[in-house]
Chains A and B, each alone.
Chain A
Amino acid sequence: MAFYEHTFIGKQDLSTKELDSLVKKYSDIITQSGKLLKTEKWGVLNLATKIKKNRKGIFIHFKFESKDDAVKNIEKKLSIENNVIRYLTVKYDKLDLKKEYFAETK
């Protein structure tokens, strides 16, 4: 078991329904084999450069604890997803749950 942080960028023109289903889908996968500690929605942010013809994206951030096969599973599924621009998983020894660099803007 290890701690992970996972972020993915959804396309800007996703409706809230589609976004929620995306979030639910992946939080379900996490909870199957581990423990979801926190979900953050960073909202729409500007991308520094164009990525796959997108200028903006919706950022979703998970903090969780699980085995590494859950990460493999998530990345496998996200790589096929059409509505996701990019994703990143980072392994941590310790997670800081309090600090939020991107305060929610609604």
Chain B
Amino acid sequence: MRRDKKKGRKGKGSNFKSKLSLFQKPDFRMRRSCPLSAKNAPEVDYKNIKLLKRYISDTRKILPSRITSVSQGKQRKLSLAIKRAKILGLV
């Protein structure tokens, strides 16, 4: 019951990992490793729009790393790249 209610409230907007609730403990879920630090990971750059679009919300906000599980260093680079792309109107 409770879960259903939560889902209904949350459903708006966040198309990215809508399953992962922010306040729920991840009981079975292993901590995922950073998708940008793996081998052959794509380069974080303000011109790489395809990549950046994955890490912003529908309202052009930068998604927090606790949702996307990006490492701290990469998150810093990512946010800088997104801000640069926003200046040029790319994202």
Contacts and interface: CB of A to CB of B under 8 A. Distances in A.
Q: Of residues A47, A59, A101, which shows the largest number of chain B Cβ atoms within 10 Å of its Cβ?
A: A101
- The B interface is mostly helix, strand or loop, or mixed, namely loop
Interface in B74-88: 84, 86-88
B91 interface: yes
Contact of B89 (A86, A90, A101, A102): A86
Interface string A17-55: 000000000000000000000000000010111010000
A57 interface: yes
A9 interface: yes
Nearest to A55: B89
Interface residues of A, number: 14
Interface string B46-79: 1111000000000010000000000000000000
Given A48-B60, A90-B84, A9 B49 contact: no
Given A90-B46, A101-B48, A7 B88 contact: yes
Contacts of A47: 89
B47 A101 contact: yes
A48 B90 contact: yes
B91 A48 contact: yes
Interface of B: 45-49, 60, 84, 86-91
10 contacts: A45-B90, A47-B89, A48-B86, A48-B89, A51-B89, A88-B88, A90-B46, A101-B45, A101-B48, A101-B49
Interface of A: 7, 9, 45, 47-49, 51, 57, 59, 86, 88, 90, 101-102
